[in-house]
Amino acid sequence: MKRVQTQTSRSQRVTRLLLCAGASLFVADKAMAVSMLHTLNWGLTDDQNPYIAEGANWDSVGYIYWEENGSAFTGTGTLVRSAVDGEYKFLTAAHNPNSDHDNVIPASEFFVYFGDDAGEDGQDAVASVTVSSSNVALNPLWASTNGSSQYDLAVFSFSPEAVTGVLPSAMSLSTANPIGQMGTTVGYGTWGNGQNFAGFGADGIRRAGTNMIDVVGDPDDNPTNTGFTIQTDFDGPNGEGHTIGSSVGLPLEATTASGDSGGPLLVDGEIVGVLNGGFPGLDGNASEYGDRSIWAPIMDPDNQAFLIAQGIVIPEVSSAFLLAVCACGGLVRRRRL
């Protein structure tokens, strides 16, 4: 429910998760990239682009391509630690394979590519795999809650025999509450800058940026179907477009864009959330300053139960933490970027 759908040109199916689950503010786009500070060198081909350099650090983040009802789509996901011998696990958003949240997956197969420059057809990927829709599991709460952002998770499973090339190391997940921490968003997809987001196409180059995590919970201004989520906003270098939490932008401040859905939100190198969608900025333009991103939280006990059932390694959660979540009705708020 943010920008994880990329239709026709692979970079815009909806343009962001903001319209995803029927909520008029969500867009579910299927891929991932970044909208960057306008003051930094963000040119596409410049090797000194700091967002491309940061993206190169996260080789477990992969690029997804598939075709659905005659249209092409792209998305993002992450290779994660598997508890099942002889089986790999790839974590993404449920709305990538199932944007209608009806438990029906229209595509017959998904192509997953790994590499700094995977390319739209994976020609420059260092590893690739084709995953049948029969090996895609959707979080059951995704459908039963009519597409709530809170439960927007899916898992691809595949065997070593299906892989071409050498896969990167799988990443770990974190069940900790990330409120107030600096998060890193990573992905492939449309890109531009916060002052005038042009929405350049999904070029298969992995980019990454940072943002402060200002909301963990269910704030009063959430639209329908958001639920308990993680949120960040996109602050300009002088606080331009500030909407929630701290107004001070980070040196590599970024927000997500069309084609980012399913990508990870990382804290200290571990996944704390999976991108669902977002809200446009104060001027109504997605991916510009003031834009907010929405993430399905790994800390949610129901999400953990789904991931464990799919054979993904989840760190043990303390009983004290679970009691604390229940005691506050699932609401934890502070700054919200």
Pairwise CA distance, residues 60 & 108, whole Å = 24
Fold of the domain spanning 1-337: Thrombin, subunit H (2.40.10)
Q: Computed over its alpha carbons, how large is the radius of gyration of the chain?
A: 18
pLDDT of the residue at 46: 65
| Better-predicted residue by pLDDT, 97 or 223 | 97
pLDDT of the residue at 37: 87
Pairwise CA distance, residues 112 & 169, whole Å = 15
Domain ranges of the chain: 1-337
| Strand bridging mode 35-36 / 192-193 | parallel
Pairwise CA distance, residues 256 & 265, whole Å = 10
pLDDT of residue 20 exceeding 70, the answer is no
Convert the pLDDT of each residue in 197-252 to its tens digit. Answer: 877 777 888 999 999 999 999 876 666 678 999 999 999 888 888 888 877 789 99
Tokens in use for 273?
A: 């959330």
pLDDT of residue 15 exceeding 60, the answer is no
Pairwise CA distance, residues 183 & 297, whole Å = 13
Convert the pLDDT of each residue in 132-182 to its tens digit. Answer: 999 999 999 999 999 999 999 999 999 999 999 999 999 999 999 999 999
pLDDT of the residue at 16: 31
The SS3 call for residue 24 is coil
pLDDT of the residue at 314: 94
pLDDT of the residue at 285: 82
pLDDT band of residue 33 (cuts 50, 70, 90) is: low
Is-above-0.75 flag for pTM?
yes
Convert the pLDDT of each residue in 279-330 to its tens digit. Answer: 887 778 888 888 999 999 999 999 999 999 999 999 875 444 444 444 333 3
pLDDT of residue 39 exceeding 60, the answer is yes
CA distances from 286 to 97, 118, 138, 278 (A): 23, 25, 27, 8
Contact 208, 51 (CB under 8 A): yes
| Dihedral in degrees, nearest 10, Cα atoms 207, 209, 213, 218 | -30
Convert the pLDDT of each residue in 69-86 to its tens digit. Answer: 999 999 999 999 999 999
Contact 283, 290 (CB under 8 A): yes
Pairwise CA distance, residues 41 & 60, whole Å = 25
Contact 5, 256 (CB under 8 A): no
Contact 105, 135 (CB under 8 A): no
pLDDT of the residue at 200: 76
Pairwise CA distance, residues 254 & 209, whole Å = 5
pLDDT band of residue 104 (cuts 50, 70, 90) is: very high
pLDDT of residue 18 exceeding 70, the answer is no
Pairwise CA distance, residues 286 & 304, whole Å = 30
Of 244, 200, 226, 179, the C-alpha closest to 31 is 200
Pairwise CA distance, residues 241 & 283, whole Å = 8
pLDDT of residue 7 exceeding 70, the answer is no
Contact 224, 150 (CB under 8 A): no
pLDDT of the residue at 306: 98
pLDDT of the residue at 249: 84
* % residues pLDDT > 90 (the chain): 55
pLDDT of the residue at 5: 35
pLDDT band of residue 259 (cuts 50, 70, 90) is: confident
Q: Looking at the chain, which runs of residues are DSSP E strands?
A: 35-36, 61-68, 71-80, 88-92, 109-114, 127-132, 136-138, 154-158, 163-165, 182-188, 192-193, 206-212, 215-217, 229-233, 254-255, 264-267, 270-279, 292-297, 332-333
Pairwise CA distance, residues 35 & 120, whole Å = 19
